Structure 1
Amino acid sequence: MLIATGATIAVVLPVYFLNPPHTPETYQRDIDVATVARQAAGDAGYLPAAPELDDWSSNYARWVTGRSDGVDFWEVGFLTSDAGFIQLTQTDDANPTWVAQRIGDAQVSGARTIGGLEWELLDAPDGDTVLRTDVDGSTVILNGEAELPEFDSLGAATIEDIRQNEAEEADRVSSADADG
């Protein structure tokens, strides 16, 4: 019994000590969100929001499609300058069921004005903050563990980016109409 225990420890300890430790830096990737958004635009039918914030990074950006609920959406994870995390979700095809699934058990706790729009403020049982609004035909949901001023920054930058994308698309369409 002692020999078996000693052999097990002799095998496990090197493996344990050779594995790198998991630190917050392990999950910081700094994805180029604007490039991924441009790549997703063909599938989305619109240019998804790719807000840029100083001293923030993104650890993922993806277009999610083919789900059983039939709602395709854009999703980006942001690491804030104060080590918080906020996930941005955007779709132009939201329905009440999809919104309820994305929000989960979060309960409405008030409203918040960001970027000139009213956002529904919700508190999740796990301590996350959730904000939801509609911007020019898109439903936007922000959720995560960060301070409300960080949500304000991301919300305002997201609204600005969506509106800029809409204006550029309208200019492109009107230029194409004038040429054709």
Structure 2
Amino acid sequence: MSESSPTPQIKPVIAAGAAKRANASVIGMLLAMFSTVAIVLVIVWLNPEPKADTYRSNIDVAAVASNAADTAGFNPVAPDLPAGWSANYARWNPPGADGVAFWDVGYVTANDTFIALRQSITANPTWTATQAQNAPVTGNRSIDGQEWELRDKPKGDRSLVLLSGTTTIILTGAADFKDFDVLAAGATKMLGSGTADNSFHSTKDSK
């Protein structure tokens, strides 16, 4: 038997009309893509990335604190702070599942960093640890005669914790110590005659 000769390959021939339609589809797709990109660029151009100052609000912390005082059962602190500081929220949080109700204010410092202030008369160790992001106690920081417990860890925000009578105040954020000192001094000044609990013992120098 003789081997059969290979069947010659037949190249498909696209009709001129079909080729024209195919090219039109590709061109249409590219035009649509370019149009979408152009629209996105225009939107981005008209809406530039907001600067830090955009997030600054003119919250009247003292007014919100005054309104919350009757519900809170204590006077929520609303410290006087230097020029350049602002609050982007201030609110009273009723008791949750943990039974802790607290005053909560978010401060933007003059250096565009953030510190949250939380104050409660029903705080417990679990709540305090949670608000301090479960960071370990690393020492004390003395601010205007008050001893604040310092809690921090290598990666994460730092916290200062003060127990003054029945009141617990927690400051948490990524700001420098000098900004923490400003807010801490302002907060304790408003506590009036409350005596801070000085039972904390330093475990390291927190300069």
TM-score (norm 2): 0.72
Which of 162, 180, 198 pairs up with 1:151? 180
Q: What is residue 21 of structure 1 aligned with on the other side?
A: 49
Which of the pair has more CA radius of gyration? 2
**Aligned counterparts of 1:157 and 1:117: Cα–Cα separation in 2:** 12
Match of 1:50 in 2: 78
RMSD: 1.9
Higher strand share: 1
Tell me the distance in 2 between the aligned counterparts of 1:120 and 1:15: 48
Deviation per CA, 1:29-62, whole angstroms, max 9, x where unpaired? Answer: 1311100100111211111000011212212111
**Which structure is higher in helix share?**
1
- Name the residue aligned to 2:34: 6
Question: Is the 1:105–1:124 Cα contact (8 Å) retained in structure 2?
Answer: no
| TM-score, structure 1 as length reference | 0.82
What is the alpha-carbon distance in structure 1 between the residues aligned to residue 46 and residue 181 of structure 2? 42
* 1:114 to 2:152 alignment: no
Q: What is the Cα deviation at residue 20 of structure 1?
A: 4.0
Cα drift, residue 116 of structure 1 = 1.9
Aligned length: 165
Identity %: 45
Residue 31 (structure 1) aligned with residue 59 (structure 2)? yes
Residue 162 of structure 1 aligns to a residue whose secondary structure is coil
Match of 1:131 in 2: 160
Contact 1:48 1:90 in 2 (8 A): yes
d(CA) in 2 for partners of 1:39, 1:142: 22
Q: Unaligned stretches of 5+ in structure 2?
A: 1-28, 195-207
Q: Aligned match of 1:104 in 133, 139, 144? A: 133
